[in-house]
Amino acid sequence: MNSISYKKILYFENKRRISLLEKYRSNVLNYFKNISFPKYTGGYSYSENDKARVIRQKINQDTEEICIIFESANNLKDKWLVINIFDLHKYHTSHKKLIDVIDRVISIYKKDTNFSLIRTVFLPIFCLIWLFQKKIYYLLHFKELICEIIKFLNKICR
């Protein structure tokens, strides 16, 4: 997957990612509240109620983008929790570990909110200044070139 570092995204994308992570976190919590592990299975299978099935579908729809957000936050080692969310019990891992990891990624994006705002405000200004400098640079060089051509033509015509 290709992801852009969280340090390079603009304010609106930062806010969108925080919102998506918070929604995903809520869905994970609600999903695990609506499943049950029968005692006779030894914890290797579970049953979902209707609400859990609907939430599972939402989680599956968001998983790809959540993985990209994790990569962007340089949290590759914990991405496996997102990918294997419905099999965590097979790895003897609680969903609370996934919640902790999601909370950490949310905090990374929240800490970067002010910097993303600065990038959003100043990036257009920086680009305009850069373009203006380039335009002046080329105009000055073009002016010098025209002067040289005129001098050359004056020499030829004499």
pLDDT (tens digit, 0 to 9) for every residue of the chain, 158 residues total?
457 888 888 899 999 999 999 999 999 999 999 988 666 555 566 788 999 999 999 999 999 999 999 999 988 888 999 999 998 888 888 899 999 999 999 999 999 999 989 888 877 776 677 677 767 767 777 777 778 888 887 887 76
pTM: 0.73
Which stretches of the chain are assigned E, i.e. beta strand?
35-36, 47-48
User: Which residues contact residue 4 at a Cβ distance below 8 angstroms, ignoring those fewer than 6 apart?
Assistant: 72
Which residue type is seen at 7? K
The SS3 call for residue 112 is coil
36 DSSP 8-state letter: E
Question: Helix 50-72 and helix 11-33: axis angle, to 10°?
Answer: 140
Q: 20, 69 in Cβ contact below 8 A?
A: yes
